[in-house]
Amino acid sequence: MIESGALARDILIRDGRVSALVEPGAASAGDEIDASGLLAMPGAVDAHVHFNDPGRADWEGWPSGSRAAAAGGTTTVIDMPLNSLPPVLDGGSFDAKRAAAERGSLVDFALWGGITGADDAALRELADRGAVGVKGFMCDSGVPEFSSIPDDQLEAALRAAASAGLLVALHAEDDTLLRDATRAAQVAGRRDAAAWADSRPPLVEVRAVARAYAAARDAGARLHVVHLSSREALGAIGAARRDGVDISVETCPHYLVFDRDDVSRLGAILKCAPPLRDRANRDALWNAVSDGRIDLVASDHSPCPSDLKRRGAGDIFAAWGGVAGVQSLLVTLFTEAVLRSGGSLDTRKIAGFVAWRVSTKPARRFGLWPRKGNLAVGADADVVLLDPDPEWTLDVEDSLTRGLSPYVGRAFRGRVVRTIVRGRTIFADGRVVAEGGGRFVARSA
Ligand SMILES: [Zn+2]
């Protein structure tokens, strides 16, 4: 028996799809899974991962990254165009990324293209191949081969993306402001972990979001703001919506459960851009996830070799910025929702809320719904079975990413006991039980 939403239902799967949802025991099947006491959710659709493969597979890679995803109940990842080599900026590099993923991924995958300017031909190639959209930077991307969109070309780039039918995901940090604040911190001799957040204050994000939405409004572009970090920027998002801009926004688990004190305690493992902020900011972001001002939560999984983190011990500016979180997306959100409800909410309702934010909303926004993010007849049978009760800690040997995870040693409530992609079990009882087989999913709307 499986709990689907608030109801007990048996889920029937045929040829990789959900073929029926029926009263418990009303049908039989050749192969039955007893899910008594478990919650069935549509597998997570992680809209923001960097698996860096081809090119930097030693940082992560499709086999390792997708195994970590499977262990966390993620059945589809949407991979970012940068940190892999070549970056995905046209049809040829898109094909290379797709081929690497088809060779190595255990979970299904969709792909972001990249945008660095108004290159109409390249954008059309990406759109024709089914990219979910294109990602661009308003500041330095962190890697030399992926340029930011110059300030004076932002509107033209957004216009070109709109005419190719592509949504634009923006890393919204104002380049001028953050360079000024970074210089000030470094001139003051700061190298400590807290200097990172001080070098990228909330205004850096607010100003970028405000400018991006004004440009998107004039260009008629659809916008997605990735990894929103500051409560101050929620105001600019609200203004964009009131202005009629088609805008969505994500935040990441690390902004919801860690703060700048954790960066001082744990160091560069939690260095990311934009940076972690204070406790009150965490609460404000959580409230925005709860009431829908933040549409969805994605991991922004961006690991690196451990020495690129360790070099931050003496100088936070020298470390790679990125947090490894693909394995813990769903359970982090579930745990936090249970804690914040103070035990007052039914775990089935919490699972429904989590599924909406990490599965259904991203699938809808990025054109993968109703095939993904949807536990309904006709959809792909991507199912995660969650035991809502256990309290447990992530051990280092169970962390499957190649990178260092700040979630190792952390306590969780609720455990993924089985992950199913198109009817095929890929993770069960604490172990990855399959290899490869992940398929490309093109944007369908
Ligand atoms: Zn990212």
Q: Say what the pLDDT of residue 68 is.
A: 98
CA distance 208 to 440: 33
Beta strand ranges found along 277-322 (DSSP E): 296-297
Q: For residue 20, how far is its CA from the centre of ligand 1 (angstroms)? A: 37
d(CA 308, CA 157): 33
| pLDDT of the residue at 4 | 45
CA of 387 to the centre of ligand 1 (A): 30
Is 36 contained in some domain?
no
Distance 170 CA to ligand 1 centre (A): 10
Which pLDDT tens digits describe the chain residue by residue (445 residues)? Answer: 344 445 678 899 999 999 999 988 888 888 999 898 999 999 999 999 999 999 999 999 999 999 999 999 999 999 999 999 999 999 999 999 999 999 999 999 999 999 999 999 999 999 999 999 999 999 999 999 999 999 999 999 999 999 999 999 999 999 999 999 999 999 999 999 999 999 999 999 999 999 999 999 999 999 999 999 999 999 999 999 999 999 999 999 999 999 999 999 999 999 999 999 999 999 999 999 999 999 999 999 999 999 999 999 999 999 999 999 999 999 999 999 999 998 787 999 999 999 999 999 999 999 999 999 999 999 999 999 999 999 999 999 999 999 999 999 999 999 999 999 999 999 999 999 999 999 999 999 7
In the reported structure, the alpha carbon of residue 302 is separated from the centroid of ligand 1 by a whole-number distance in angstroms of 6
C-beta of residue 248 within 8 angstroms of C-beta of residue 223: yes
Q: Is 84 helix (H, G, I), strand (E, B) or coil?
A: coil
Ligand 1 center to residue 345 CA distance, Å? 32
Q: The domain containing residue 309 runs over which residues?
A: 42-373+404-417
Report d(CA 340, CA 237) in Å as an integer.
Answer: 25
Q: Over the Cα atoms of the chain, what is R_g?
A: 21
> CA 87 to CA 54: how far, in whole Å?
9
**The predicted structure's pLDDT at residue 342:** 86
Residue 105 lies in a domain: yes
How high is the pLDDT of residue 7? 65
3-state secondary structure (DSSP) of residue 394: coil
* Cα of 245 from ligand 1 centre, angstroms: 23
CATH number at residue 302: 3.20.20.140
Mind spelling out the 3-state secondary structure of 399-424?
A: CCCCCCCCCCCCEEEEEEEEEEECCE
Q: Give 394 Cα–ligand 1 centroid separation in angstroms.
A: 23
Query: How far apart are the C-alpha atoms of 79 and 52, rounded to whole Å?
Result: 9
The alpha helices in 227-368, defined as continuous H runs, are: 232-242, 253-257, 260-266, 279-291, 306-310, 329-341, 347-355, 361-365
CB-side neighbour CA atoms (13 Å) of 190: 17
Structure token digits, residue 84: 């892999």
* pLDDT confidence of residue 3: 42
Q: How far is the CA of 238 from the centre of ligand 1 (A)?
A: 23
Element (H or E) spanning 431, and its range?
A: strand 431-432
Cβ-based neighbour number of residue 409 at 10 Å: 12
Strand arrangement, sheet containing 44-49: 44-49, 74-79, 108-111
With respect to residue 16, please indicate whether it lies within any of the assigned structural domains. no
Tell me if 430 is assigned to some domain. Answer: no
199 is a domain residue:
yes
Instruction: Kindly give the distance from the C-alpha atom of residue 297 to the centroid of ligand 1, in angstroms, as a whole number.
Output: 13
End-to-end C-alpha distance for the chain, whole angstroms: 34
Q: Cβ(111)–Cβ(91) under 8 Å?
A: no
| In a domain? residue 109 | yes
Q: In this structure, what token pair is assigned to residue 195?
A: 């200097």
Q: What is the distance between the alpha carbons of residues 171 and 245, in angstroms, rounded to a whole number?
A: 17
Q: Is-cis flag, bond preceding 201, omega within 30?
A: no
**What pLDDT score does 285 carry?**
98
CA of 137 to the centre of ligand 1 (A): 10
Q: How far is the CA of 273 from the centre of ligand 1 (A)?
A: 9
Backbone angles phi, psi at 71, to 5 degrees: -65, -25
The DSSP annotation for 51-68 comes to --TTT-TTT--HHHHHHH
> 206 C-alpha vs ligand 1 centroid, how far in Å?
18
**347 inside domain:** yes
Q: Which pLDDT value is given to residue 1? A: 35
Q: CA-CA distance, 294 to 228, in Å (whole number)?
A: 9
- 135 C-alpha to ligand 1 centroid (Å): 9
Q: Is residue 95 part of a domain?
A: yes
CA of 141 to the centre of ligand 1 (A): 9
**CA 227 – ligand 1 centroid, Å:** 8
Q: Measuring CA to CA, which residue among 272, 259, 377, 345 is closest to residue 18?
A: 377
What is the distance in A from the centroid of ligand 1 to the CA of 299? Answer: 8
Ligand 1 midpoint to CA 16 (Å) = 31
Distance 346 CA to ligand 1 centre (A): 33
Residue 170's DSSP bridge partners are 136, 225
Q: How far is the CA of 172 from the centre of ligand 1 (A)?
A: 11
Place of tokens 């993924």: 416
Structural domains of the chain, count = 1
* Token digits of residue 316: 């936070």
Omega prior to 54 cis, within 30 of 0: yes
What is the distance in A from the centroid of ligand 1 to the CA of 420? Answer: 26
How far, in Å, from the CA of 18 to the mean position of ligand 1? 32
Q: How far is the CA of 50 from the centre of ligand 1 (A)?
A: 6
Residues with CB under 5 A from ligand 1 (ion): 300
